[in-house]
Amino acid sequence: MIKVGVVGGTGYTGVELLRLLAAHPGVALQAVTSRGEAGRHVADLFPNLRGHLDLVFTPPDASDLHACDLVFFATPNGTAMQLVPGLLAAGVKVIDLAADFRLRDPDEWEHWYGMPHACPELLAEAVYGLPEVNREAIRAARLVANPGCYPTAVQLGFLPLLEQGLVDPGNLIADTKSGVSGAGRKAAVGTLLAEASENMKAYGVAGHRHQPEIRQGLRAATRQPVELTFVPHLTPMIRGIHATLYARLTATGEDLQSLFEQRYADEPFVDVMPLGAHPETRSVRGANHCRLAVHRPRDGHTVVVLSVIDNLVKGAAGQAVQNMNLMFGLDETAGLAAAALLP
């Protein structure tokens, strides 16, 4: 059994991680930390875990994280980087679900996150945890940077086209929508029911923190400069991301449907839907799947890719468990086989 600790178990990502880990056949949860809820039973805060998890929240400095085999960080940006060096020195592997180790350039990190990086020497070592790209590196990693939700949906949609050089990397557009759980569990006026319901709005058009992460991944795929217009939107649903991706074809003779099917044929959590399909966010709710559909309207020069994920699962906690499975030599699908929730 893998002895696991979770730092920051009170947010939406944290409780989703606990839900998955509590049912995982190869995991023994040792500690769940929270400064604000220390001393409280986890199941008292999250009653869905009653009968599944019998642990009490402990402060990070009081829990014995060094006795764990792996520690997940489901914390705000800037928290993990303070504790990770000590954990790695103690031989503990780490998966960070925040953004502390996603960007390679510490100056770019500081620009987007407003603070200097506490351990820039680890940025080169951290493996970006997108299994469909970095599976073998993840297997050997001791520090994994779990991708963001928007970056997961966008990269999986664009990768087959960029890897084969079929589109212009200087003119990519990602029109994305997210449910309100992507904003986190903190109280904020913009995510109140009366504010978010029956409404949709764009945000971060001038610049969003996920944009440099997406561009970094797409540059690695094409090995050319990438120009990406990325526009996120808040939609009146709790879970889900829908990404509509546009690119300009540089070659028009390729069978795009076959290209996508072949690229993801061996990927357990990427589903390329039949020609003409329109994937729905509800089809992945609660599941660790990305569903994709590729279109070429009117046989023109523009390709449109539709990509849907659950932002809390394949976009966060589920992908983190997928990475854990790889790091410890388990079946990659362990603990992640459940079908999506309908209705």
Cβ atoms 132, 157 nearer than 8 A = no
Nearest to 279 by CA among 172, 61, 84, 270: 270
* DSSP strand pairing (143-145 vs 127-128): parallel
Report DSSP state, residue 167: B
Is 290 considered catalytic here?
A: no
Q: Is 80 left (phi over 0), alpha (psi -120 to 50) or beta?
A: alpha
- Rounded CA-CA distance 107/113 in Å is 10
Cβ atoms 131, 288 nearer than 8 A = no
Cis (ω within 30 of 0) for the bond into 169?
Answer: no
- Rounded CA-CA distance 180/178 in Å is 6
Nearest to 307 by CA among 251, 269, 268: 269
Return phi, psi of residue 40, to 5°.
Answer: -95, 140
Q: Which of 68, 119, 149, 290 is catalytic?
A: 149
Cβ atoms 267, 289 nearer than 8 A = no
Nearest to 290 by CA among 274, 266, 306: 306
**Residue 282 burial by Cβ neighbours in a 10 Å radius (0-12, 13-18, 19+):** middle
- Rounded CA-CA distance 44/314 in Å is 26
Residue 186, token pair as written in the block: 């903190």
Catalytic residues, by residue number, are 149
